[in-house]
Amino acid sequence: MKTITGAKMVVQALKDQGVEVVFGYPGGAVLPIYDEIFQQNDIRHILVRHEQGAIHMAEGYARSTGKVGVALVTSGPGATNAVTGLVDALMDSIPIVVLSGQVPTFMIGTDGFQEADTVGITRPCTKMNWLVKETEKLSETIHQAFHVARSGRPGPVLIDIPKDVQFATGSYTAPEKAKVSHYQPKVKGDTEAVTRLVEMMETAERPVFYTGGGVINSGKAASQLLREFVDATGFPITSTLMGLGAYPASGKSWLGMLGMHGLYEANLAMHDCDLMINIGARFDDRITGRVADFSPRSKKVHVDIDPSSINKVIRVDLPIIGDVGHVLEDALKIWKARGRKVNKEALAKWWAQIDAWRKVDCLAYQPSAATIKPQYALQRLEALTKGIDRYITTEVGQHQMWAAQFLHFDEPNRWMTSGGLGTMGYGLPASVGVQIAHPQALVINVAGEASWLMNMQEMGTAMQFRAPVKQFILNNERLGMVRQWQELLHGERYSHSWSESLPDFVKLAEAFGCKGLRVTDPKDLDDAILEMIRYDGPVIFDCLVEKHENCFPMIPSGKPHNEMLLSADAEAFRSGAVLV
């Protein structure tokens, strides 16, 4: 049988897995693989500027395409730089495969140059990881890794490959021959349970769909089924940060995002419902607030592919373990077969109640003619990109929440954000990854200046690979979200929440060779946004916004849904006070 080197195997296995792009950074322990990459043209390599960037790019690539993202890093510091990205992908269930170089097998354990216990360090940061000590097993392990990354609840995996394993030869195992049999998570929901769900839906008086990232994970067909189901039943639907776009924001049953910074009507619907149908969401603490007071009068159904998500935080009445797409398909079928019943009268009352909550207009803010309000900037961005199939990534902070509130998503896979880990520095590299996957699309990273600085070196990658990403920085010269918490919860003691000594972003853009724009006056905003969209290349957009704006609504952590902080305007409306 013909044998090939481990390094060749890596490239062959990636090709056989349909990989088109690898985000990576070379170093001593992966040089044999880089040598193979050099000698072929099927796989494109994107040279990043920091390994954390490579992982976030792979995440952005994966989330915007539904495919597995791939990154390649060297041993030691290369691998440790990848750790934040791995945990980010683990928390948000993003399928990525990371290949890391390792010192040769005979040096492992000797504190060799650039040796780190990569599988040890990344074990709790991955869904699964492997140290491959024999070339003979390398290709099969890579195929298994792809299978694990994309099956069941998706997640990051890592394969650590010692340098001698890359040099040595062995026989190649094709993907079809790889042993993946034992890891086959259940995708079909129990029919009895699904029927029970339908029964509950038929009689529910105040139902609500609470959907999450699992719908996106499940694929486009799942979003379609969700739309059909929601529209046919007329039930209201809210989604977590991770699930935005699965049901269109323009849809008639859409309540907006729920949770800590979610909409008033969405949170109150969750609090007061009698039937909560959780589809692919995990009762995160940013959703539940105080667990003991979470939606006290509802029956709760939870559809999730991961049994450990069930009853982890909230005890549910009806668990359905399975893939969202499969379960929705069955549920829809059963519901139709039983005569498409819903409690119409009660639903009408429920919607009347929801409409009353909507009147609070919880996203209202004090407009200003003098300074750009961040909410206004996003409203303008939304208006001026309407009709364009755009992709949005974000950094982490207030701007992220405003983006979730004010930008509307009508399709899945258009919204890439770091939810579970909340990784500042995610957005810029993620936007590059998205743009590499969709070269013609409009890709915008909605950023805060502090987050953006964390991985700004990746502008170099954007320039080199002609990724025309738009960096829309809402610059409040503050670590805004931290400042907000300090104002509301720490006695206005603003401990280290300033962005001091900021660079001149326009000059920085020039230094990178891209376009820089700065806007301070609301009057100039529209033209500048249009200029940004039209410019054929990367743009750094420095949008100087109000420095002390708070993001509302806000449910302080540990509070129940109905103890929500609203902006002064919305609060005045609700409490009946009249603002003159």
Partner 1 sequence: MSALNIKRGSSSHSAYDLRDSHAQAEESHTLAVIVENEPGVLARVIGLFSGRGYNIDSLTVAEVDHTGHRSRITIVTRGTPAVIDQIEAQLSRMVPVHAVHDLTAEGPSVQRELALLKVVGKGEARIEALRLCEIFRARVVDSTLESFVFEMTGTPDKIDAFAELLRPLGLKEIARTGVAALSRGA
Ligand X SMILES: Cc1cc2nc3c(=O)[nH]c(=O)nc-3n(C[C@H](O)[C@H](O)[C@H](O)COP(=O)(O)OP(=O)(O)OC[C@H]3O[C@@H](n4cnc5c(N)ncnc54)[C@H](O)[C@@H]3O)c2cc1C
Ligand Y SMILES: Cc1ncc(C[n+]2csc(CCOP(=O)(O)OP(=O)(O)O)c2C)c(N)n1
In the complex, the residues that contact ligand X under the rule CB under 6 A are: 92-93, 153, 212-214, 217-218, 240-243, 257-262, 280-282, 284, 286-287, 304-306, 309, 323-324, 396, 400-401, 419-420, 422, 481
CB of 330 vs ligand Y, minimal distance in Å: 39
Please give the Cα distance from 81 to 192 (Å, whole number). Answer: 47
CA distances from 371 to 330, 363, 522 (A): 52, 18, 6
Residue placing its CB nearer to ligand X in the complex, 138 or 222: 222
> Which range, of 304-312, 345-353, 463-471, 498-506, touches partner 1 by CB under 8 A?
304-312
# binding residues, partner 1 (CB under 8 A): 43
The phi, psi pair for 397, rounded to 5°, reads: 145, -160
Question: What is the full DSSP assignment across 127-156?
Answer: SEEEE---HHHHHHHHHHHHHHHHSSS--E
Give 67: exposed, middle or buried? Use CB within 10 Å, 0-12, 13-18, 19+.
middle
Checking phi first, is residue 292 left (phi over 0); if not, alpha (psi -120 to 50) or beta?
A: alpha
Catalytic residue among 51, 115, 449, 549: 51
Please give the Cα distance from 397 to 409 (Å, whole number). Answer: 19
Residue placing its CB nearer to partner 1 in the complex, 337 or 489: 489
Q: What is the 3-state secondary structure (H, E, C) of 162-223?
A: EHHHHHCEEECCCHHHCCCCCCCCCCCCCHHHHHHHHHHHHHCCCEEEEECHHHHHHCHHHH
Catalytic residue among 481, 532, 554, 564: 481
Q: Is 563 in the site for partner 1 (CB under 8 A)?
A: yes
Token representation of residue 82: 């990848």
Angle of CA points 8, 9, 15, to nearest 5° = 95
Residue placing its CB nearer to ligand Y in the complex, 167 or 498: 498
Please give the Cα distance from 267 to 258 (Å, whole number). Answer: 5
Which of partner 1, ligand Y, ligand X, none sits in contact with 182, Cβ below 5 to 8 A by type? partner 1
CB of 322 vs ligand X, minimal distance in Å: 7
> Which range, of 5-13, 100-108, 117-125, 497-505, touches partner 1 by CB under 8 A?
117-125
Contact characters 528-557, partner 1, x per CB under 8 A: ----------------------------xx
Catalytic residue among 9, 115, 127, 163: 163
CB of 259 vs ligand X, minimal distance in Å: 2
In what helix (H) or strand (E) does residue 99 lie, and over which residues does it extend?
strand 96-102
Is 481 a residue of the active site? Answer: yes
Q: What is the 3-state secondary structure (H, E, C) of 558-578?
A: CCCCCCCECCHHHHHHHCCCC
By beta carbon distance, the residue nearest ligand X is 213
Beta-bridged to residue 128, according to DSSP, are 157
Tell me the residue type at 475: N
Residues across the chain: 580
Please give the Cα distance from 269 to 356 (Å, whole number). Answer: 11
Residue 406 near residue 356 (C-beta atoms within 8 A): no
The structure tokens 């969405």 sit at 266
Q: Is 399 in the site for ligand Y (CB under 6 A)?
A: yes
Which of ligand X, partner 1, ligand Y, none sits in contact with 72, Cβ below 5 to 8 A by type? none
Residue placing its CB nearer to partner 1 in the complex, 547 or 559: 559
Checking phi first, is residue 489 left (phi over 0); if not, alpha (psi -120 to 50) or beta?
A: alpha
> Which range, of 60-68, 146-154, 386-394, 470-478, touches partner 1 by CB under 8 A?
146-154
Residue placing its CB nearer to ligand Y in the complex, 99 or 459: 459
Token representation of residue 7: 């390094």
Q: In this chain, which of 183, 205, 366, 388 binds partner 1, going by CB under 8 A? A: 183
Q: What is the 3-state secondary structure (H, E, C) of 11-58?
A: HHHHHHCCCCEEEECCCHHHHHHHHHHHCCCCCEEEECCCHHHHHHHH
Contact characters 448-487, partner 1, x per CB under 8 A: -------------------------------------x--
Q: Is 571 in the site for partner 1 (CB under 8 A)?
A: yes
Residue placing its CB nearer to partner 1 in the complex, 260 or 514: 260
The structure tokens 């390792």 sit at 102
Residue placing its CB nearer to ligand X in the complex, 101 or 245: 245
Q: 314: helix, coil or strand?
A: coil
Contact characters 255-294, partner 1, x per CB under 8 A: ------------------------------x----xxx--
Residue 28 near residue 75 (C-beta atoms within 8 A): yes
Is 163 a residue of the active site? Answer: yes
Please give the Cα distance from 520 to 368 (Å, whole number). Answer: 12
Please give the Cα distance from 43 to 8 (Å, whole number). Answer: 13
Contact characters 475-504, ligand Y, x per CB under 6 A: -x-xxxxx----------------------
Catalytic residue among 113, 333, 366, 464: 113
Q: In this chain, which of 16, 88, 330, 395 binds ligand Y, going by CB under 6 A? A: 395
Task: Return all residues near 78 (Cβ < 8 A) that are at least 6 apart.
Answer: 25, 27, 29, 30, 51, 100, 101, 114
Contact characters 382-401, partner 1, x per CB under 8 A: --------------------
Which of partner 1, ligand X, ligand Y, none sits in contact with 556, Cβ below 5 to 8 A by type? partner 1
Neighbours of 558 (CB within 10 A): 12
Which of ligand X, ligand Y, partner 1, none sits in contact with 304, Cβ below 5 to 8 A by type? ligand X
Residues 240-259 that bind partner 1 (CB under 8 A): none
Residue placing its CB nearer to ligand Y in the complex, 126 or 423: 423
Q: Is 446 in the site for ligand Y (CB under 6 A)?
A: no
Is 114 a residue of the active site? Answer: yes
Q: In this chain, which of 270, 310, 396, 416 binds partner 1, going by CB under 8 A? A: 310
> Which range, of 41-49, 119-127, 341-349, 455-463, touches partner 1 by CB under 8 A?
119-127
Positions annotated as catalytic residues are 51, 113-114, 163, 481
The footprint of partner 1 (CB under 8 A) covers 119-120, 123-124, 127-131, 148, 152-153, 182-183, 185, 285, 290-292, 306-308, 310-313, 315, 485, 488-492, 556-559, 563-565, 571, 574-575
Binding residues (CB under 6 A) for ligand Y: these are 395-399, 422-424, 448-451, 474, 476, 478-482
